[in-house]
Structure 1
Amino acid sequence: MPIRARRTRLLWRTLLAAALAALIATLMSPGAAQGAAPAPRTPGQAPRTQAPRTPGESKPVYSYEDAIRESVWVDTAIDGDADGRTDRVAVDIVRPRELDRTGRRIPVIMDASPYYACCGRGNESQKKTYDADGNPVQFPLYYDNYFVPRGYGYVAVDLAGTNRSDGCVDVGGRSDVQSAKAVVDWLNGRARGYTSRTGNDRTKATWTNGATAMIGKSYDGTVAQGVAATGARGLKTIVPIGAISSWYDYYFAKGAPLYGSGPDGLSNAVESPEARARCGAVQQRLVDGAPRSGDWTGLWSERNHVPDADKVRASVFAVHGMQDLNVRTKHFGQWWDALAENGVDRKVWLSQAGHVDPFDLRRGDWVRTLHRWFDHELLGYDNGIGREPMADIERSPDHWTTDRVWPPRGTRTVGLHPAEGTSPGVGTLGLRPGKGTETFTDDRRLSETDWAGRIDTSTPAKAGFVSKPLGRDLRLSGPATVTVTATPTTRTAHLSAVLVDVGPDTIRDYSAAGEGITTLPERTCWGPSTAGDSACFKETRAKTAAVDYTIFSRGWADLGNWADAGHGRPLTPGKPHTITLDLAASDHVVPKGHRLALIVAGTDKNLIEPPADTPTLTLDLARTSAKLPLVGGAGAFATTAPVTPGESRLDGVAPPRRINPRPGGSTS
């Protein structure tokens, strides 16, 4: 995604060489480089699509201790709580005082969240704090400490219905998105701001040039994607970390329910006590619009950002854990593909961890990269980041590789086929279509680790298909699908499909507490601190596990959705039904000598809920196949001589813990 510098005509280069040299020297000085930004604009005027590109790096030359800290309430122009008055959302701001005195207008970094009062942000669950007069004291996370001294404004927005904001939480709906978009509009002179929640004293954002970045993990990153999908003018870039692209896919997988409650449960967790008392009607709409049947409704259409990727004006720097079992990588994969189809400038980091912020995975590299990204996108610095590889991928704990584009060129969708083996439930996987059948009975007590741990053993609860040992490394990069033709014995049935790398390795222990990290007592500091807002955060290290297999992609479905992905129906016992399961996007290398396995089974304990019945399902192998994204295409799937299956001692990682149903989990 290279972004070419604006070229100056040869004549002007000749005539103005001396002047340009002097200008560059000025821009590179600490004070000017720190504050350089697109030319000032009047409120209501949209920032330029492309800022002038200048060399340099913003420097920490402004006082964090003396920074202006203030609160503004922005009118969202909607009345979510139906009290006859449009809702106002609380916006806490910190910005350099020195630049306010000079009149230089600056860009803004924003994190809009529902978690600032209820649950906290980051690995240490930091919450906002205020002084006796209600002025903001602590801004969670490091964005304020690090970027305000470098000439940025930082804005932390309470979504409607949370903390100090009016309105109601609607979990990804119009009110959530408008809570943040209204603030982008206010920063660009298009919305009204007030000095209090109920008063009439207006205030304008005369201190900013309107260029805005949104960043945040989980729910926060989801809101950033939602605002970007409105095409909001002035939103220059977003950095969604472990974000949801479709709220239906957070709660369901093609009809199969993933949690014990719907969005109403999350709303209850984050709403302020005042909002809870006045928002009963909104809560009921969340219940009515999200039936546990898993049927697609209008509520889910409103909360699906993927179809609106064609409206995105902002660049996107996406981050996701490939073992995130809270916000699964299907969210990243479908969003990424839609952005690519619409030519959106983008960059990605994919880690081996679960629902973890890159600040707690690869801290130094992350902060340096984020700094350069914001300098490029918001200040217009030509620092080369747009010409660097698009993707950073964690291959093993703390070992990262890069790709010029992602998925890499040469990736092809290849069909692999299961076939009968020498014993029931232990089949083969290869390029040629299979034949015969395999039968298993849903056992809701077992999980994917139970199945994978006995991949070479005939067991009644799964059908496993394993390749011969690979003759060379095999890289899978992107999303996959598994099409299953199954005949059930009951009127309801749920299905799971997982891809497994069978062979020894050391991985991040994503299913343990911390989801791949261990928090240490030592702290490192990322900017200046004040008495009420420390820039020092606990260090982490990779939590690893020695394993004999690695599950690297998974997907689920309700077989009752075989005819309509958005609407389930009772099955006909004894009749075959065909359905395609979407497996989460991943990037995994199965090493030479390891084996690639596909497992098809029923309920994946702790990850989907069981059906009403306990079905036995018979797979028609001739009509069952996997379509996998192989780098190098079919020719990359090279195997050696087969090995004799035997009893396995596979232990794998610890069984998945019950996933916390709110985006953010234990490490929100």
Structure 2
Amino acid sequence: MVLNQFALQEVSYEQLKTELNQLGFTTSLNTAVKSLWRQWLLKSMPECRTMSARLAKLTNILAYPGVDLKEFLIDDTPISAETFYVVGLQLLKFTWHVDFEWNNILDKAERLGIKLITGDYSDPIVLQKAWYNLLLTHTKFGVTLLDDLASRGFYQNLSITKPFFINGKAQAVFDTDQLIREVVYVETDVDTDGDDCLDLIKVEIVRPGETNDGLRIPSLFTASPYNQGINREVGNKAMHDVNQLLTRKNPDNLSYEDIRFKPDQDKVIHDKREVKGESEVAEETFGREASYALNDYFLARGFAAVYSAGIGTLDSDGIQTCGSIEQTQAMVSVIEWLNGKRRAFTNRTDQIEIKAGWSNGSVAMTGRSYLGTLATAAATTGVEGLKTIIPEAAISNWYQYYRDNGLVIAPGGYPGEDADVLAKETFSRQKAAGDYLHIKHFFDESQAQMVRDQDRDSGSYNTFWDERNYLPHIGNIKAPVLIVHGLNDWNVKPRQAYQLWQGLKNVDVPQKIILHQGQHIYIHNMPSFDYLDIVNGWISHYLYGLENGIVDHLPDVIYQTNHFEETWEALPEWGSQRKQRYQLGHESLTVEGVVSEFSEQTFNDQLTKKEFDIYKKDAKAWLNDLYHEESPLKKHRYFAKTAPLTEAIQINGAPIVKLKVASSQNIGMLTVRLVDFKKAKRLKKNPTTISLHGLQLGYHWRDESLAEFRFDTPSDYQLISIGHLNLQNRHNPWSADELVAGEAVDVELELQPTIYRLNDGHELGLIITGTDFEYTVRGNQAIAYTISLAESSLQLPLENLTIKDSFGPLAPEFDQ
């Protein structure tokens, strides 16, 4: 195992000493060093109620070969760095003879990722520094040693002021047995169900009991349309048929201004409800919220967890609109209530107002996918009180989720889904039959309009999609942004994070990004990476105003490497300025300057009926054949590779493919895949569970299973990046270009951005097809595409590699 701790900060000796004393670890320089360490060790057994029990625990710990810790602490042998870290590794739950041995113990500890303190361990200051760092080092089970002590009851008999911070991070000192759960109904400024009343939305709150005694705390708000349940069966029935023809568009000269979304300035704004009374106590509670483990982790640390499914969901007013401005405005209303700028009521009928008197007005938005999407949307309004957002796998442009460059494109794994399908699926008002009775007709009419507006026929960018594109409004963002995204997320593809990241460079707010090698997943439960500590330092700073230096301390880009397990590295930027150009040839990619002897290459998109019927039922079979050189698809694609690389390269950014291509018809589409070829072990795209219930989130509190990215069995290839384009939208997604059958046109296609390393011996491959059985419509039309090779190229943004070998021996060999 390797620990990657980016959030562990060096502090002054004075701060270190103060924090150790606050924790009850005395820093007296008049106490013998060995006696001091003994006191600290005995205090680190909070589950033991008697001295006898603590001393018995010492016998379970090895001090050095042949001597246990109890024996060591009473003999005359001085503390050495070796003994300290042998004991330290055991406290961190590493196993003797499995994870480490006595030989080269310091080297082994360092290679495990532990920051060693050098010096003479008979010096109490050296020992204090080493102990402080050890407390803040991750155990084998995903939390720091101090967090582990907290989950065992360390803080139960410690007199401290709440909230409590160590190393700039909030500690788990709040009593989760006394949590308050309450429901309020926030009044929005929108009326999406046409009843001439402002929509009320249900909000569930979980907050520490200490807030009833006057403590004011910040909130982690998760806006989740899934929170009150979903209509899975309804969504499945609403899926669109993707076995459709690609249709021709009439050429036009539309400008962006022609389709730009303009809010309705004449829209009637309804009067707010009359307040008929006030209450300090909510009327409604709940048993268990549809929680997010990150929020659970912070409930023990002095943050409230706030959840709302928003308009069109169970116990709320309105209808589902899938990313519209009304959905954003409704979620912003919750922030405004937490910030004291908006009203909420104890129920939906009596108009009894209730305030968030426990809130300090500071809010962070958290969550993955649709949840993180709404965090980005809310931030683009510049709403007061939103201090930061942490969008994970979030959409920044809905068009690029359901469309791309003039084509209807499915989110990975969901062919046939569209905005209307997601709206139906998340319209959980349908679950309350009586409520649904009154809203069904209006919702059905709105859905029919949504189907027309989203326009699956053309796939072009229009006003519907512009309303759901948050990127033009990035300049309004005032909240610092911590982006988290998967480089192999083919559902919410990496471009969604990349474009937000690039756009924020022109906005005066701090921004950081974390990129992992997974798909559409959370990453808070990986013991090799200190994600929880990073977020802790980040929100402790922005929500509590703690001056902890975390913004300057964290690298701008943290990414997980694809060539080792448990290895995370830092970069100053996502998107390298160094470019390498490759010339397209007949079955070959060569470095710039080598001219292909073949002038052009043609492939036909149409399959036999038998082949088409097989592939449309099993896209995986199509993919498998696509990636193999000898394949039934050989005449239905362009397939080229480099010679085996003589040295490693690392792509950092968005590859660009430039083609001169002709279609045999006046319609056409292209799918471009960038592929790593060589039989090798590669990381799985979903983490492997390594310990059920292994991640403890607090004392007598919830837990989470631990997981890590592990190498899979050797495979022949891996997709690096992908891109799609309608040849009639080669200049922009809203304006249809003319396409003349047989006439070559110039195309420049930016593929999905990535950070990806190919080791020496690997081959870089480029595959171009028309139809993509995973993502596009599938019409099996008789279209032949001809690529002019000499005028076509691939451009890669390459990172200057500094080969790090410090983790190599701990990871399985990359190639087989």
Q: What TM-score, normalized by structure 2, do the two folds share?
A: 0.66
Q: State whether structure 2 residue 274 is matched by structure 1 residue 109.
A: no
Partners of 1:362 and 1:567 lie apart in 2 by 48
Partners of 2:301 and 2:777 lie apart in 1 by 48
* Structure 1 residue 261, shift from structure 2 partner: 3.9
Partners of 1:269 and 1:363 lie apart in 2 by 36
Partners of 2:316 and 2:159 lie apart in 1 by 36
* Structure 1 residue 364, shift from structure 2 partner: 6.4
Aligned to 2:722, what secondary structure does the other structure show? Answer: strand
Partners of 1:391 and 1:167 lie apart in 2 by 40
Q: State whether structure 2 residue 704 is matched by structure 1 residue 537.
A: yes
Which position in structure 2 is the counterpart of 1:592? 760
Which position in structure 2 is the counterpart of 1:178? 329
* Structure 1 residue 569, shift from structure 2 partner: 5.7
Q: State whether structure 2 residue 579 is matched by structure 1 residue 467.
A: no
Change beyond 3 A, Cα 1:428–1:478? closer
Partners of 1:362 and 1:520 lie apart in 2 by 10
Counterpart residue identity of residue 331, structure 2: A
Q: State whether structure 2 residue 683 is matched by structure 1 residue 517.
A: no
Which position in structure 1 is the counterpart of 2:532? 367
Identity, % of aligned positions: 27
Change beyond 3 A, Cα 1:133–1:377? closer
Which position in structure 1 is the counterpart of 2:453? 289
Partners of 1:311 and 1:616 lie apart in 2 by 46
Partners of 1:141 and 1:458 lie apart in 2 by 44
Change beyond 3 A, Cα 1:434–1:290? farther
Q: State whether structure 2 residue 660 is matched by structure 1 residue 485.
A: yes
Change beyond 3 A, Cα 1:362–1:520? closer
Partners of 1:601 and 1:204 lie apart in 2 by 58
List per-residue Cα deviations over 1:229-261 (Å, max 9, x = no partner).
Answer: 111121111111111110000011111211324
Residues 387-402 of structure 1: pairs in structure 2 closer than 5 A: 387-396=553-562, 398-402=565-569
List per-residue Cα deviations over 1:383-409 (Å, max 9, x = no partner).
Answer: 44321222222223643232242227x
Partners of 1:86 and 1:325 lie apart in 2 by 38
Aligned to 1:224, what secondary structure does the other structure show? Answer: helix
* Structure 1 residue 433, shift from structure 2 partner: 6.6
Q: CA RMSD in A?
A: 3.4
CA contact (8 A) 1:427 1:463 kept: no
Residue in structure 1 matching 2:169, options 57, 78, 81: 57
Residue in structure 2 matching 1:271, options 427, 449, 474: 427
Residue in structure 2 matching 1:451, options 615, 619, 626: 626
Which position in structure 2 is the counterpart of 1:77? 189
Change beyond 3 A, Cα 1:419–1:22? closer
Partners of 1:575 and 1:353 lie apart in 2 by 41
Structure with more helix by fraction:
2
Partners of 1:197 and 1:456 lie apart in 2 by 62
List per-residue Cα deviations over 1:566-611 (Å, max 9, x = no partner).
Answer: 2346732111122222211100011122122222222222122235
Aligned length, in residue pairs: 581
Change beyond 3 A, Cα 1:632–1:120? farther
Residues 571-650 of structure 1: pairs in structure 2 closer than 5 A: 571-611=739-779, 613-632=781-800
Which position in structure 1 is the counterpart of 2:584? 418
Change beyond 3 A, Cα 1:434–1:162? farther
Residue in structure 1 matching 2:677, options 502, 519, 522: 502
CA contact (8 A) 1:520 1:540 kept: yes
Aligned to 2:589, what secondary structure does the other structure show? Answer: strand
CA contact (8 A) 1:390 1:405 kept: yes
Partners of 1:120 and 1:326 lie apart in 2 by 20
Partners of 2:522 and 2:18 lie apart in 1 by 41
* Structure 1 residue 457, shift from structure 2 partner: 11
Partners of 1:151 and 1:360 lie apart in 2 by 20
List per-residue Cα deviations over 1:269-321 (Å, max 9, x = no partner).
Answer: 11020466142233233212110111111111111111211111111111111
Counterpart residue identity of residue 417, structure 1: Q
| Runs of 5+ unmatched residues, structure 2 | 1-5, 25-154, 233-281, 411-415, 616-620, 804-814
Partners of 1:495 and 1:611 lie apart in 2 by 14
Residues 151-162 of structure 1: pairs in structure 2 closer than 5 A: 151-162=302-313
Change beyond 3 A, Cα 1:406–1:597? same
Counterpart residue identity of residue 497, structure 2: F
Partners of 2:705 and 2:728 lie apart in 1 by 47
Aligned to 1:250, what secondary structure does the other structure show? Answer: helix
Residue in structure 1 matching 2:726, options 558, 583, 600: 558
Aligned to 1:618, what secondary structure does the other structure show? Answer: strand
* Structure 1 residue 107, shift from structure 2 partner: 0.8
Aligned to 1:372, what secondary structure does the other structure show? Answer: helix
Which position in structure 2 is the counterpart of 1:350? 515
Change beyond 3 A, Cα 1:584–1:159? same
| Runs of 5+ unmatched residues, structure 1 | 6-17, 38-53, 122-130, 421-425, 511-515, 637-651, 653-668
Counterpart residue identity of residue 263, structure 1: A
Which position in structure 2 is the counterpart of 1:50? none
Change beyond 3 A, Cα 1:79–1:119? closer
Aligned to 1:150, what secondary structure does the other structure show? Answer: coil
* Structure 1 residue 199, shift from structure 2 partner: 2.6
Larger Cα-atom Rg: 2
Residues 47-446 of structure 1: pairs in structure 2 closer than 5 A: 56-101=168-213, 103-119=214-230, 134-259=285-410, 260-272=416-428, 273=430, 274=435, 277=440, 278-292=442-456, 293-361=458-526, 365-386=530-551, 387-396=553-562, 398-407=565-574, 411-420=577-586, 426-432=587-593, 434=595, 436-442=599-605, 443=607, 445=615
